[in-house]
Amino acid sequence: MRKYFGTDGVRGRVGEFPMTPDFAMRLGWAAGQVLGAQGVSEVLIGKDTRASGYMLESALEAGFSAAGVNVALVGPLPTPAIAYLATTFRANAGLVISASHNPFYDNGIKLFAQSGHKLTDAQEQEIERWLQHALDEGMTCVSSEKLGKARRIEDAAGRYIEYCKSHFPSRQSLNGLKIVVDSANGAGYKVGPAVYRELGAEVISLHDAPNGVNINHECGATDLTSLRAAVIEQGADLGIALDGDADRLMMVDHTGAIVDGDELLFLLAREAQAAGYTGGVVGTQMSNLGLEQALAERGIAFKRAKVGDRYVMEQLTATGWRLGGEGSGHLLSLDHAATGDAIIASIRVLAALLAQGTTLHLAKQGMRKLPQTLVNVRYQAQEGVDPLGTPGVKAAMQAVEARLGTAGRVLLRKSGTEPLIRVMVEAEDADQANGCAQEIAGALG
């Protein structure tokens, strides 16, 4: 079991363990020990727009240097840009300093292999072994002539913009489209709007003035209020929302209606099928049943993974399929990017709309989302007692599942961060979903 690495790297509140400069330096040193022994000579480091990124970047640089590993610094860029640029700049690995959609006072550190994929569990466990040594016994340092060097790459953003544009068909153009882009005051604040403009769209840019503390604040993929209002006010064709590190995508149609990750995944799957894709789609336990039903109607296989893009990727690797994602907007299209890339996913959706001669509003009608209710129930942890396994809870689950049949779905899962049971019910109508969820929650309480 990993102690420090979660499903998306190491993450926490800045100034509190483990998000301290001392821990970051030791993590850089430990990663340098493991990756250096595997032939890595240079790590490319990027970050989002949090003020704490400067501190953590410097600490990581010191740790890698002490381990004899060079670093290449690219500054604020989307997480998927780092995954791509690590290859194009011939770095052997990539590292991103970001807490994605979290508030500014959090930050995180995640590592990529040169392939653009996240490190394996075995690699992270080996890094943790060295990290624990550094925390308990201290760090060593290579001799002065072997210290890692640092360089700053100036043209990284331009290269990534061209890379994104290469995934848009050359015979198409966004001329005539008015798009509102909400960059969440995050890592995509420059490159995102630039991509759409250079493809021909008229772009109204929102939340593109990061100040170190306004990332994700009432904006971006986690809060679509201002984007929805701007799309209607500007008479735009659609809106695009990125999260803080631009690996999650949410969209808004011309009426201001939200188009979430499940609906976007359906649109991408439909586009891929039309282009000859014969594989299936991987969602998660939280993916709306409407997605599964819409894919089945088109003869597209569907599997569910545990919540988290890491587990979606595991299923894609196991099946050989190329498409997956989460309702939160983390979309994987492995024919176009090695990791979730909001900008590339959005231009693939735009290309599909243009090819079909339709609007986002009409295209999403091909999938009907089922009403979903989520109830959080706090419980008192007791050793040897599984709150999900009591007779009362089992009976309530069985009664609800029998009532819903194939027209609904029930999911109970424990939170990984606090003593909560998450009760999720999907049904044909909202009242039924809510009533069933409350029934199960009552049994838990």
Catalytic residue numbers read 100
Distance CA(325)–CA(311), nearest Å, equals 10
The residues, any chain, with a CB within 8 Å of residue 190's CB and separated by 6 or more, are 76, 157, 208
Whether residue 18 is preceded by a cis peptide bond, meaning omega within 30 degrees of 0, is yes
Neighbours of 339 (CB within 10 A): 23
Closest CA to 168 of 193, 189, 198: 198
CB proximity list for 184: less than 8 A, separation 6 or greater: 101, 207, 215, 216, 219, 220, 221, 222, 241, 242, 243, 244, 246
Closest to 292 (Cα-Cα) out of 307, 281, 305, 306: 281
Distance CA 410, CA 429 (A): 14
Query: Cβ(431)–Cβ(403) under 8 Å?
Result: no
Residue with tokens 């569907």: 302
Strand 281-284, strand 302-305: pairing: parallel
Quickly list DSSP for 293-309: HHHHHTT--EEEE-SSH
